[in-house]
Amino acid sequence: MADYKSIIDAYKDLPGGIIEAYHALQREFSYIPEEAIPYAAQVFDIPKAKAHGVATFYSYLKVGKRGKNVIRICESAPCHIAGADKVVAALEKELGIKMGETTADGKFTLEFAECVGQCQATPVITINSKPYGDITADKIPAILAEYK
């Protein structure tokens, strides 16, 4: 596993490189380590507040620890109407955590998403950005088994 400094350094000469660096950090760690933000501010010669603002502005970027496998469920109206609440209940039951939490072993984090652009197949979850459509509560154990 690479360290956050070498990842950030790889993007220091690119215009808009801070966003690319944050994406690379997230690919490596599943999140942006807190200590990477002041380092990014230094490398990109911007105030720490601006570096933090970039890291927290985009919903797909997350600062701070989260699980290796990030499960997001769409909470938009089409998914909600199609039964997203039952899928949420199944995910929470199967993983033993609530939305916004991470399993004790660090393997899974549950998060809400506003929309994942798969409205033709509601309700939808994504695991590490891979979409799964037409989800029902009874499909959850088999899907999670792929990641355990």
pLDDT digits (tens, 9 = 90+) for 95-138: 999 999 999 999 999 999 888 888 899 999 999 889 999 999 99
Query: Is residue 41 classed as helix, strand or coil in its secondary structure?
Result: helix
Which strands form 69-74's sheet, in the order they lie side by side?
Answer: 108-113, 69-74, 125-127, 130-132
State the pTM of this model.
0.76
Q: Mean of the pLDDT values across residues 11-17? A: 92
Q: Which domains does the chain have, with CATH numbers?
A: 4-57 (no CATH), 69-145 (3.40.30.10)
**pLDDT value of position 39:** 97
103 Cα distance to chain centroid: 14
What are the tens digits of pLDDT across the range 22-74?
A: 999 998 988 999 999 999 999 999 999 999 999 988 877 888 888 989 999 98
- Return phi, psi of residue 26, to 5°: -65, -35
DSSP assigned state of 79: H
Q: Quick one: pLDDT at residue 91?
A: 96
